[in-house]
Protein backbone atom coordinates (compact mmCIF):
# COMPACT_ATOMS: atom_id res chain seq x y z
CA UNK A 1 0.00 0.00 0.00
CA UNK A 2 1.44 3.40 -1.00
CA UNK A 3 1.98 6.15 1.60
CA UNK A 4 -0.76 8.20 -0.06
CA UNK A 5 -3.23 5.31 0.08
CA UNK A 6 -2.26 4.53 3.67
CA UNK A 7 -2.82 8.15 4.70
CA UNK A 8 -6.22 8.20 2.97
CA UNK A 9 -7.20 4.91 4.61
CA UNK A 10 -6.21 6.19 8.05
CA UNK A 11 -8.73 9.03 7.73
CA UNK A 12 -11.58 6.55 7.37
CA UNK A 13 -13.15 6.15 10.84
CA UNK A 14 -11.44 3.42 12.83
CA UNK A 15 -14.72 1.76 13.74
CA UNK A 16 -15.61 1.32 10.09
CA UNK A 17 -12.15 0.03 9.19
CA UNK A 18 -12.15 -2.50 12.01
CA UNK A 19 -15.69 -3.67 11.24
CA UNK A 20 -14.69 -4.16 7.59
CA UNK A 21 -11.55 -6.07 8.62
CA UNK A 22 -13.55 -8.34 10.92
CA UNK A 23 -16.10 -8.99 8.18
CA UNK A 24 -13.31 -9.95 5.77
CA UNK A 25 -10.96 -11.94 8.03
CA UNK A 26 -13.15 -12.94 10.96
CA UNK A 27 -13.00 -11.67 14.55
CA UNK A 28 -9.40 -12.73 15.27
CA UNK A 29 -6.61 -10.48 16.56
CA UNK A 30 -3.08 -11.87 16.76
CA UNK A 31 -1.24 -10.73 19.85
CA UNK A 32 2.43 -10.23 19.04
CA UNK A 33 4.04 -10.96 22.41
CA UNK A 34 7.79 -11.60 22.09
CA UNK A 35 8.24 -13.22 25.50
CA UNK A 36 11.75 -14.50 26.22
CA UNK A 37 10.42 -18.07 26.38
CA UNK A 38 8.89 -17.77 22.91
CA UNK A 39 12.04 -16.20 21.49
CA UNK A 40 14.04 -19.16 22.83
CA UNK A 41 11.52 -21.63 21.41
CA UNK A 42 11.92 -19.95 18.02
CA UNK A 43 15.72 -20.14 18.28
CA UNK A 44 16.01 -16.35 18.45
CA UNK A 45 18.16 -14.24 20.77
CA UNK A 46 16.46 -12.13 23.43
CA UNK A 47 17.65 -8.93 21.74
CA UNK A 48 16.07 -6.18 19.71
CA UNK A 49 17.14 -8.00 16.56
CA UNK A 50 15.43 -11.15 17.82
CA UNK A 51 12.27 -9.17 18.55
CA UNK A 52 12.27 -7.70 15.05
CA UNK A 53 12.70 -11.09 13.38
CA UNK A 54 9.94 -12.58 15.57
CA UNK A 55 7.59 -9.67 14.89
CA UNK A 56 8.04 -9.60 11.13
CA UNK A 57 7.54 -13.36 10.86
CA UNK A 58 4.28 -13.06 12.83
CA UNK A 59 3.23 -10.24 10.52
CA UNK A 60 4.08 -12.27 7.41
CA UNK A 61 1.84 -15.09 8.63
CA UNK A 62 -0.96 -12.68 9.53
CA UNK A 63 -0.80 -10.55 6.41
CA UNK A 64 -1.71 -13.44 4.13
CA UNK A 65 -1.74 -13.05 0.39
CA UNK A 66 -4.41 -10.84 -1.13
CA UNK A 67 -6.29 -10.51 2.19
CA UNK A 68 -5.01 -10.58 5.78
CA UNK A 69 -5.69 -13.68 7.86
CA UNK A 70 -6.50 -11.56 10.91
CA UNK A 71 -8.54 -8.44 11.59
CA UNK A 72 -5.69 -6.86 13.57
CA UNK A 73 -2.30 -7.31 15.20
CA UNK A 74 -1.77 -6.35 18.86
CA UNK A 75 1.89 -5.94 19.80
CA UNK A 76 2.53 -5.96 23.56
CA UNK A 77 4.50 -2.73 24.03
CA UNK A 78 6.14 -3.72 27.33
CA UNK A 79 8.02 -6.57 25.67
CA UNK A 80 9.61 -4.12 23.22
CA UNK A 81 10.13 -1.36 25.77
CA UNK A 82 12.34 -3.56 27.95
CA UNK A 83 14.98 -3.37 25.20
CA UNK A 84 15.03 0.42 25.28
CA UNK A 85 15.35 2.50 22.13
CA UNK A 86 16.36 -0.51 20.04
CA UNK A 87 13.22 -2.32 21.16
CA UNK A 88 11.08 0.65 20.22
CA UNK A 89 12.80 0.71 16.83
CA UNK A 90 11.73 -2.92 16.33
CA UNK A 91 8.17 -1.96 17.25
CA UNK A 92 8.25 1.00 14.87
CA UNK A 93 9.35 -1.35 12.08
CA UNK A 94 6.48 -3.73 12.83
CA UNK A 95 3.92 -0.91 12.86
CA UNK A 96 5.28 0.52 9.60
CA UNK A 97 5.35 -2.84 7.83
CA UNK A 98 1.86 -3.72 9.05
CA UNK A 99 0.56 -0.40 7.75
CA UNK A 100 2.18 -1.07 4.36
CA UNK A 101 0.58 -4.53 4.31
CA UNK A 102 -2.87 -3.15 5.15
CA UNK A 103 -3.07 -4.88 8.55
CA UNK A 104 -4.62 -2.91 11.41
CA UNK A 105 -2.53 -2.56 14.57
CA UNK A 106 -3.49 -2.10 18.23
CA UNK A 107 -0.59 -0.98 20.41
CA UNK A 108 -1.12 -2.66 23.78
CA UNK A 109 0.46 0.14 25.81
CA UNK A 110 -2.19 0.66 28.54
CA UNK A 111 -1.37 4.35 28.88
CA UNK A 112 -3.34 6.68 31.16
CA UNK A 113 -2.55 10.04 32.75
CA UNK A 114 -3.82 13.60 33.08
CA UNK A 115 -3.49 16.85 31.18
CA UNK A 116 -0.44 17.47 29.03
CA UNK A 117 1.06 14.09 29.91
CA UNK A 118 -1.96 12.27 28.48
CA UNK A 119 -1.77 14.54 25.45
CA UNK A 120 1.83 13.42 25.00
CA UNK A 121 0.80 9.77 25.08
CA UNK A 122 -1.95 10.49 22.56
CA UNK A 123 0.52 12.22 20.24
CA UNK A 124 2.94 9.30 20.52
CA UNK A 125 0.46 6.53 19.69
CA UNK A 126 -2.27 8.23 17.67
CA UNK A 127 -0.89 11.08 15.55
CA UNK A 128 0.40 10.66 12.00
CA UNK A 129 3.75 12.34 12.69
CA UNK A 130 4.78 9.76 15.28
CA UNK A 131 6.73 6.66 14.22
CA UNK A 132 4.83 4.79 16.96
CA UNK A 133 1.41 5.66 15.55
CA UNK A 134 -0.85 2.60 15.54
CA UNK A 135 -4.44 2.25 14.38
CA UNK A 136 -5.48 2.04 18.04
CA UNK A 137 -3.97 1.99 21.51
CA UNK A 138 -5.09 0.51 24.82
CA UNK A 139 -5.72 3.00 27.64
CA UNK A 140 -6.26 2.76 31.40
CA UNK A 141 -9.16 4.82 32.84
CA UNK A 142 -8.22 4.62 36.50
CA UNK A 143 -7.29 8.28 36.87
CA UNK A 144 -10.87 8.96 35.80
CA UNK A 145 -12.49 8.22 32.45
CA UNK A 146 -12.64 11.93 31.67
CA UNK A 147 -8.84 12.07 31.44
CA UNK A 148 -9.10 9.94 28.28
CA UNK A 149 -11.65 12.08 26.44
CA UNK A 150 -9.07 14.23 24.65
CA UNK A 151 -7.14 11.13 23.56
CA UNK A 152 -10.31 9.61 22.13
CA UNK A 153 -10.99 12.85 20.27
CA UNK A 154 -7.41 12.86 18.95
CA UNK A 155 -7.88 9.28 17.78
CA UNK A 156 -11.19 10.11 16.11
CA UNK A 157 -9.72 13.10 14.26
CA UNK A 158 -6.92 10.88 12.92
CA UNK A 159 -9.18 7.98 11.93
CA UNK A 160 -7.81 5.92 14.82
CA UNK A 161 -9.25 4.37 17.97
CA UNK A 162 -8.70 3.57 21.63
CA UNK A 163 -9.53 0.52 23.72
CA UNK A 164 -10.25 1.32 27.36
CA UNK A 165 -9.69 -1.27 30.09
CA UNK A 166 -13.08 -2.17 31.53
CA UNK A 167 -13.19 -5.76 32.81
CA UNK A 168 -9.93 -7.66 32.98
CA UNK A 169 -9.21 -11.25 33.90
CA UNK A 170 -6.41 -10.71 36.42
CA UNK A 171 -7.62 -11.42 39.98
CA UNK A 172 -6.47 -7.99 41.21
CA UNK A 173 -8.80 -6.28 38.73
CA UNK A 174 -11.81 -7.11 40.88
CA UNK A 175 -10.48 -4.84 43.63
CA UNK A 176 -11.13 -1.83 41.39
CA UNK A 177 -13.45 -2.85 38.57
CA UNK A 178 -16.12 -4.54 40.73
CA UNK A 179 -16.29 -1.81 43.37
CA UNK A 180 -19.81 -0.38 43.64
CA UNK A 181 -21.63 -3.46 42.37
CA UNK A 182 -25.14 -3.46 43.79
CA UNK A 183 -24.98 0.22 44.75
CA UNK A 184 -26.51 3.25 43.08
CA UNK A 185 -24.45 4.08 40.02
CA UNK A 186 -23.19 0.53 39.75
CA UNK A 187 -19.74 -1.01 39.57
CA UNK A 188 -16.75 0.89 38.24
CA UNK A 189 -16.71 -1.40 35.20
CA UNK A 190 -20.32 -0.51 34.46
CA UNK A 191 -19.60 3.22 34.72
CA UNK A 192 -16.65 2.87 32.32
CA UNK A 193 -18.95 1.07 29.89
CA UNK A 194 -21.57 3.80 30.09
CA UNK A 195 -18.97 6.57 29.67
CA UNK A 196 -17.59 4.87 26.55
CA UNK A 197 -21.09 4.56 25.12
CA UNK A 198 -21.76 8.27 25.71
CA UNK A 199 -18.51 9.30 24.04
CA UNK A 200 -19.15 7.06 21.02
CA UNK A 201 -22.68 8.45 20.69
CA UNK A 202 -21.16 11.93 20.43
CA UNK A 203 -18.34 11.10 18.03
CA UNK A 204 -19.59 8.31 15.77
CA UNK A 205 -21.60 8.57 12.59
CA UNK A 206 -25.08 7.03 12.85
CA UNK A 207 -25.00 3.26 12.51
CA UNK A 208 -21.20 3.00 12.84
CA UNK A 209 -18.87 2.03 15.65
CA UNK A 210 -17.24 4.95 17.39
CA UNK A 211 -13.53 5.31 18.15
CA UNK A 212 -13.84 3.99 21.72
CA UNK A 213 -13.68 0.27 22.31
CA UNK A 214 -13.43 -1.63 25.57
CA UNK A 215 -11.08 -4.33 26.79
CA UNK A 216 -13.09 -7.17 28.31
CA UNK A 217 -11.26 -10.37 29.22
CA UNK A 218 -12.49 -13.36 27.27
CA UNK A 219 -12.44 -15.56 30.38
CA UNK A 220 -14.55 -13.15 32.49
CA UNK A 221 -17.08 -11.99 29.90
CA UNK A 222 -19.95 -13.70 31.73
CA UNK A 223 -19.39 -11.35 34.69
CA UNK A 224 -20.33 -8.33 32.58
CA UNK A 225 -24.08 -9.00 32.80
CA UNK A 226 -23.88 -9.47 36.58
CA UNK A 227 -22.17 -6.09 36.87
CA UNK A 228 -24.82 -4.40 34.74
CA UNK A 229 -22.48 -3.75 31.80
CA UNK A 230 -24.60 -3.41 28.65
CA UNK A 231 -21.76 -4.17 26.27
CA UNK A 232 -24.10 -4.36 23.29
CA UNK A 233 -24.88 -0.66 23.78
CA UNK A 234 -21.26 0.57 23.78
CA UNK A 235 -21.36 1.50 20.11
CA UNK A 236 -17.80 0.25 19.65
CA UNK A 237 -15.69 -2.91 19.45
CA UNK A 238 -14.74 -5.19 22.35
CA UNK A 239 -11.15 -6.40 22.53
CA UNK A 240 -11.20 -9.78 24.27
CA UNK A 241 -7.78 -11.14 25.24
CA UNK A 242 -7.56 -14.69 26.52
CA UNK A 243 -8.74 -16.78 23.56
CA UNK A 244 -6.74 -19.97 23.18
CA UNK A 245 -3.86 -20.58 25.57
CA UNK A 246 -5.49 -18.68 28.44
CA UNK A 247 -8.51 -20.97 28.33
CA UNK A 248 -11.29 -19.06 26.57
CA UNK A 249 -13.10 -20.97 23.84
CA UNK A 250 -15.23 -19.63 21.02
CA UNK A 251 -18.34 -21.30 22.46
CA UNK A 252 -17.66 -19.91 25.91
CA UNK A 253 -17.11 -16.43 24.54
CA UNK A 254 -20.31 -16.51 22.51
CA UNK A 255 -22.22 -17.44 25.67
CA UNK A 256 -20.39 -14.95 27.86
CA UNK A 257 -20.73 -11.95 25.56
CA UNK A 258 -24.29 -12.81 24.52
CA UNK A 259 -25.82 -10.09 22.35
CA UNK A 260 -22.49 -8.23 22.23
CA UNK A 261 -20.75 -11.12 20.41
CA UNK A 262 -20.77 -9.37 16.98
CA UNK A 263 -18.59 -6.62 18.50
CA UNK A 264 -15.96 -9.01 19.87
CA UNK A 265 -12.40 -9.07 18.55
CA UNK A 266 -10.89 -12.20 20.12
CA UNK A 267 -7.18 -12.02 20.83
CA UNK A 268 -4.82 -14.98 20.87
CA UNK A 269 -1.07 -14.73 21.26
CA UNK A 270 0.77 -17.72 22.76
CA UNK A 271 -1.81 -20.16 21.45
CA UNK A 272 -0.85 -19.19 17.90
CA UNK A 273 2.77 -18.09 18.30
CA UNK A 274 3.74 -21.40 19.91
CA UNK A 275 3.27 -22.95 16.46
CA UNK A 276 6.27 -20.98 15.15
CA UNK A 277 8.91 -20.37 14.06
CA UNK A 278 7.94 -21.84 10.69
CA UNK A 279 5.61 -19.77 8.56
CA UNK A 280 3.60 -22.87 7.69
CA UNK A 281 3.06 -23.68 11.36
CA UNK A 282 1.91 -20.17 12.18
CA UNK A 283 -0.45 -20.03 9.21
CA UNK A 284 -2.00 -23.38 10.14
CA UNK A 285 -2.51 -22.20 13.71
CA UNK A 286 -4.05 -18.93 12.54
CA UNK A 287 -6.42 -20.72 10.20
CA UNK A 288 -7.50 -23.12 12.96
CA UNK A 289 -8.24 -20.19 15.28
CA UNK A 290 -10.21 -18.47 12.55
CA UNK A 291 -12.21 -21.62 11.95
CA UNK A 292 -12.90 -22.01 15.68
CA UNK A 293 -14.28 -18.46 15.78
CA UNK A 294 -16.35 -18.97 12.68
CA UNK A 295 -14.26 -16.54 10.65
Report residue 145: phi and psi, to 5°: -60, -35
The pLDDT score that the predictor gives to residue 10 is 54
**How far is residue 185's CA from residue 227's CA, in Å, rounded to a whole number?**
11
What are 157-185's pLDDT values in tens digits? 999 999 999 999 999 999 999 999 989 88
Cα-Cα-Cα-Cα torsion 198, 201, 202, 206, nearest 10 degrees, comes to 180
- pLDDT above 60: residue 285: yes
What digits encode the pLDDT tens for the residues 73-84?
Answer: 999 999 999 999
Q: Which residues are designated catalytic? A: 110
Give the sign of the dihedral formed by CA 23, CA 28, CA 33, CA 34: negative
Q: Are 203 and 149 in contact (CB under 8 A)?
A: no
pTM of the model: 0.94
For residue 9, pLDDT over 80 is answered with: no
Q: In the chain, what are the domains?
A: 3-293 (3.20.20.70)
What is residue 3's predicted lDDT score, i.e. its pLDDT?
A: 47
The per-residue pLDDT for range 23-78, each reduced to its tens digit, is: 999 999 999 999 999 999 999 999 999 999 999 999 999 998 778 999 999 999 99
Amino acid sequence: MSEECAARASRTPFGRRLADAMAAAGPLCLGVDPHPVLLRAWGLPDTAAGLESFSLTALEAAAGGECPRVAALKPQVALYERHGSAGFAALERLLSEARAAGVLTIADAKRGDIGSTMAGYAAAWLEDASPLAADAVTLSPYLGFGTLTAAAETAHAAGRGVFVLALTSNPEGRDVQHVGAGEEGGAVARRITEAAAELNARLAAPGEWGPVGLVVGATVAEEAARLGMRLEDVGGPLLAPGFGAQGATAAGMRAGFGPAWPQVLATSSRGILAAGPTLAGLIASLEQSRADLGG
